[in-house]
Structure 1
């Protein structure tokens, strides 16, 4: 399980950004689960966590870490999350776990965004992983038609409802050479809640779990 070991090492490496008394923004996914395990070891030293999903909230609370609402914290010093793809400029595709909107909100509210990935998530150009787009349910077909015009092939992630009560379209066959531009363009489509491109607010630090 080389990937699992890479995830664990990246998650452990992120702990060096955690300082006593912090309220830490916590993302979602299998790599973040390792980070939550590591965070639990210093739970008495941190103030609380702000969680990006019901799944992460459950994991945090099970480990005795207090979870608070972002509206009550002000700006966060640190946000730690994984990614489905990461390019050399630290632009990301996120949303494989359908938590992209809350993840993007916490990233925007944080001074430092540390992304933890295993080495397999590194790519030269984003787009091999289908790009998730969270949509208002009644707008699904309208948004899908607009995404086709952008050159993508949207597929409804049937049976998945986000924590916000919305649906996900996964856009295949994109080669994303201008992540900032595409992020802005998709976000302008009426009915889109947000797109899983983290480019305007990209990661400040990427830890890949390789070597040291």
Structure 2
């Protein structure tokens, strides 16, 4: 699939996701290339249809994009709940386990996810896999002692790589932390891995999103598919 085709599927998923946001909602807006299409569509609805909702974003760049359309953005601590959060995912399997954090926003994404009554992911079909792990698993690590955390990961065979930008500089999150990507290939026991990572001193959060989504909208050449998690 070339980039043009993939972007078309992302756009279709984003437009479909935007349909779930209604007047008066407090909505969580995620981060990433698919979410950009979501925000574009919400901006169109705001300007052309008079849609009025309050947004809580998972990154400063999403906040900037949304405000550019006149969408009201508030801090998460200024609301007592979030009605619905819509975000992307880097991988999602048949059991709805997900990997997120390719855009280095996983900590804020998980906080918004945790405080939302309902969560939707929007993805193109390339993100749907049998087993997660081919996409490197992001882990947010504080800078102090990060080298020791990386050595611990190396000893466990996690194949960690400190994420760098195109200029070779350390990638920093909105909380000024590092991202360490674990090149695992496949993750057969995600719950066990999640426990190990979050209990590693120096780790702030990891990109495993397990049992955290209600619905997944998949961009497909024949039109978006909406997958609903059983019991949710």
Name the structure 2 match of 1:161: 172
Taking structure 2 as the reference length, the TM-score comes to: 0.87
Name the structure 2 match of 1:39: 42
| Rg larger in structure | 2
Name the structure 1 match of 2:227: none
The partner residue of 2:215 within 187, 199, 205 is 205
Name the structure 2 match of 1:61: 67
**Cα shift readout 1:160-183 (whole Å, capped 9, x = no counterpart):** 111101001011134211222211
The partner residue of 2:196 within 185, 206, 209 is 185
Asked whether the 8 Å contact 1:143–1:191 carries over to 2, the reply is: yes
Name the structure 1 match of 2:182: 171
Name the structure 2 match of 1:150: 156
SS in 2 for 1:36: helix
SS in 2 for 1:147: helix
Q: Which moved more, 1:136-145 or 1:173-182?
A: 173-182
**Whole-angstrom distance in 2 between the partners of 1:147 and 1:31:** 30
Say if 2:96 is the partner of 1:112. no
Q: Superposed, which structure 2 residues align to 1:65-104 within 5 Å?
A: 65-104=71-110
- In the TM superposition, residue 149 of structure 1 has moved relative to its aligned partner by 3.6
Asked whether the 8 Å contact 2:160–2:182 carries over to 1, the reply is: yes
Name the structure 2 match of 1:9: 12
Taking structure 1 as the reference length, the TM-score comes to: 0.95
Pairs aligned (count): 211
Alignment gaps of 5+ in structure 2: 224-232
Name the structure 2 match of 1:132: 138
Superposition RMSD on alpha carbons, in Å?
A: 1.2
**Cα shift readout 1:57-97 (whole Å, capped 9, x = no counterpart):** 11011111111011111111100000111111111111111
- In the TM superposition, residue 119 of structure 1 has moved relative to its aligned partner by 0.5
**Whole-angstrom distance in 1 between the partners of 2:204 and 2:185:** 20
